Amino acid sequence: MEVVTPVTIFQNALLSGAEVVRSVKLLSQLKGVFEDEAAFEKMDGDQVVYEVDAWLPVAEGTEGGLFFGLTHLYPGTVGDEYFMTRGHVHAVENRAEYYWGLEGEGLLLLMDSNRHTRAERMFPGSLHYIPGYTAHRVVNTGDSVLRFGACWPSDAGHNYEVIDKNGFSRRVKSSDNEPVLL
């Protein structure tokens, strides 16, 4: 019997191995995402808001495969709005996804096709099923890095345009150091 060592290791909320690809999202790449544009312009655009480590074992668009990702979302605010991911729906809209919390705390915003937005609390051990046709965005409401895992179909793709254009119907802001959904 042949025994091999996996090429990818997922340990202590970190993903490593030769096939893992890291992408970095700088604040300057999130122009238009946060409400307070004056506060945004005053900030260092080169600061990292989040990083995604992804293992894509099959080609993007392959039917039947699965992708695995780990997002590291740093703490911070633009004005009083917490750092968050850009957010997207899947290009193949009926494709679902799992997220799970690993470190830190935050909120997962889920917006359905009627623009109704609900929020699920994220914490180490939280598990989130994101149905198809549902826009998803994660907000770091804590003061440490929020790390979460993701698993999605390899033919889901990403559609960022709809969120870039219309945003989510709710925003998460800090009021007296407490997150409020507005």
- Of 102, 100, 109, nearest to 150 by C-alpha is 100
Tell me how far apart the alpha carbons of residues 49 and 105 are, in angstroms, rounded to a whole number. 15
The 121-160 contact track toward ligand S6P, x by CB under 6 A, reads -----------------------------x-x-----x--
Of positions 39, 48, 52, 56, contacts ligand S6P by CB under 6 A: 52
Least separation in angstroms between CB 133 and Zn ion: 12
Residue 30 contacts by C-beta under 8 Å, 6 or more apart in sequence?
49, 86
Of positions 14, 43, 80, 86, contacts ligand S6P by CB under 6 A: 86
Helices (H), 8-116: 37-42
Tell me the window of 5-13, 40-48, 79-87, 120-128 that interacts with ligand S6P (CB under 6 A). Answer: 79-87
Residue 81 found at the interface with ligand S6P (CB under 6 A)? no
Nearer to ligand S6P, 98 or 174 (CB): 98
Q: The tokens 């009627």 sit on which residue? A: 114
> How far is it between the farthest Cα atoms of the chain?
63
Of positions 78, 81, 87, 147, contacts ligand S6P by CB under 6 A: 87
Of positions 20, 25, 82, 97, contacts Zn ion by CB under 5 A: 97
Tell me phi and psi for residue 28, to 5 degrees: -60, -20
Tell me the number of residues near ligand S6P by CB under 6 A: 11
At 42, is the secondary structure helix, strand, or coil?
A: helix
Tell me how far apart the alpha carbons of residues 5 and 26 are, in angstroms, rounded to a whole number. 34
Residues that bind Zn ion (CB under 5 A): 97
